[in-house]
Chains A and B, each alone.
Chain A
Amino acid sequence: MGRITLDKVRKAFGDVQVIPPLDLTIEDGEFVVFVGPSGCGKSTLLRLIAGLEDVSGGQIRIDGQDATRVPPAKRRLAMVFQSYALYPHMSVRKNIAFPLRMAGLDKAEQDKRVNAAADVLNLTDYLDRRPGQLSGGQRQRVAIGRAIVREPAAFLFDEPLSNLDAALRVGMRLEISELHKRLKTTMVYVTHDQVEAMTMADKIVVLRAGHIEQVGSPLELYRAPRNLFVAGFIGSPKMNLIGGALAAQHDATTIGIRPEHIAVSTDAGDWHGTVGVSEHLGSDTFFHVTCEGIAEPVTVRVGGEVALHYGDSVWLTPDKSQIHRFDTEGLRIA
């Protein structure tokens, strides 16, 4: 079981309020991702849940029980740190066994659980090495191993993949998702990478300056961002946000249209413009088109390869049903 409830949780460092009163429920077995720009308080929120920071106000409940003043070790939560925080003078086996040793389990049980975890994480060949002799991905797996042997109520991850290279990151992303499917334990995962958030989460919590901007499944956030911040944050490449007269035509202050919802034609369409820089990914091509009457270049996504070049004249047609409208406050108009 691992249902975590935050009730008006608040955190201030001195006079600086980092987390204003915040309510959030994380259901048992859910994979929740906190996402937001750097410095928005994601780590702080995670550390509050872990008990590594004391709350300045409010209540944290784990499985319905008040855990606000419970020390970290007693919360039955396991954390994986960004720096892995492995114990450098201990072998991998000792690292993974450390929480079990602290819990006073006997040697046989320790070995059994360590071997099981090593099996799951493909670490069996490295058990007698020290962390210094492992690659980044292997260290990450040791850190995860140390977390899973405790059989915690929930896992907390603080940007666990940010020290890995892009290819390894994709691999580890899948491994963590798979681990979640297998263990069915609650996971709270912090990242500033919206791709990680979209691919892994059951539920995404978008944070800005300690505020929750929106909570929802990846597709809910993609389809119906509640405000301009979420609209700009979720989706890659970013949604085109257009103001001025064009937005007024749709009775809005700002309209948003995702690059994948714009059709390109060389002879007819709604908006006329010239092709700027294009980015060829093979599977897709992104064009940055400067349109008449639109301040910012419009990003367009086209499947496959398209024979358009710098300076070519094109017509863009947005899919009317996919236009997001926002009012003066930046909130979504239904």
Chain B
Amino acid sequence: MATQHSRSAARFMMAPAVILLLGWMLVPLTMTVWFSFTRYLPMRGDSIERGLEWVGFENYVRFIGSSSFWPSVQATLVIVGGVLAITVVLGVLLAILLDQPFWGQGIVRILVIAPFFVMPTVSALVWKNMMMDPVNGMLAHLWRFFGATPVSWLSEASVQSIILIVSWQWLPFATLILLTAIQSLDSEQLEAAEMDGAPVLSRFWHIVLPHLGRAITIVILIQTIFLLSIFAEIFVTTGGSFGTRTLTYLIFQRVVDSQNIGLGSAGGVYAIILANIVAIFLMRIVGKNLDK
């Protein structure tokens, strides 16, 4: 009986947190879904007090029918995919490097983690003005030093630039998780493989990489959730032009620039669906990997 008792006590004590979380998530979600079925243009005087006109699926049809929709989905996937690829590959390499004993290891580790603590807005500004500026940026100086014409990164290679900036921010996270995973690898396994005649690359491929499998899936899962909603980096640098308008950014433009809350909300619902598709897909992979 004690367990049943403590279980109901636990439920009772958890209730405030659960209710808070539910309110936190359910209220905005319900409002978004509601708005998405109405005509809501504040500039034309629509407001909740006056009652919103129910328009059915019109907003959904218009959002998807707009010429910016599919390009924005594509831009989202390209940016998320690019950042994932770069952070995972470089993360694995950096983690292996940081795992080797070398002089000044402590300082280097802190330096590698540092970008993670810089706010996205700040790091985007730093990249835009200090690194990628076609006149005064470091890269421009470097290009001129070698006699090349500086590239105006944010307009000529805009998507790549955004990927670069975001990767720079997320690389520390990937490195950190992968480093802890590498440190948990039993060194005797590597020695056994060495005695079994596996050269360095085979040891990496057959022993280290499978050992990192779980950590890599976790990095991919967590990063995807955050990367789907990157905003500041785009707002500060390209403002969504030159093919960098992601789904998140498109919704922002619909709501704030066009002042069409109904249309933006419909986009929000699409974004939720997209995120869930990706999440289910990833959970399956993770589940499979965690089972092993």
Contacts and interface: CB of A to CB of B under 8 A. Distances in A.
A52 B197 CA distance: 12
A85 interface: yes
A78 interface: yes
B7 interface: no
B292 interface: yes
B279 to A, nearest CB: 25
A137 interface: no
A81 B193 CA distance: 12
Interface in A23-81: 50-52, 71-73, 77-79, 81
A102 B195 contact: no
Contacts of B207: 87
A98 interface: yes
A103 B193 CA distance: 12
A103 B197 CA distance: 7
Contacts of B202: 102
Interface string B209-224: 0110100000000000
Interface in B162-209: 186, 188-189, 191-199, 202, 206-207
Contacts of B197: 73, 99, 102-103
A102 B198 contact: yes
A10 interface: no
Contacts of B194: 52, 71-73
Contact of A79 (B192, B199, B211, B292): B192
Contacts of A88: 211
B196 A98 contact: yes
B210 A89 contact: yes
A85 B213 contact: no
A150 interface: yes
A78 B213 contact: no
A240 interface: no
A258 interface: no
Given A89-B292, A130-B292, A146-B196, 8 more contacts: A72-B195, A73-B194, A73-B195, A78-B195, A81-B191, A85-B191, A87-B193, A146-B192
Interface of B: 186, 188-189, 191-199, 202, 206-207, 210-211, 213, 292
13 contacts: A51-B195, A52-B191, A72-B194, A72-B195, A79-B191, A79-B192, A79-B195, A86-B189, A87-B207, A87-B210, A102-B202, A103-B197, A146-B196
A-B residue pairs, 8 tightest by C-beta: A99-B196, A85-B192, A85-B188, A102-B197, A73-B197, A89-B210, A81-B188, A72-B195
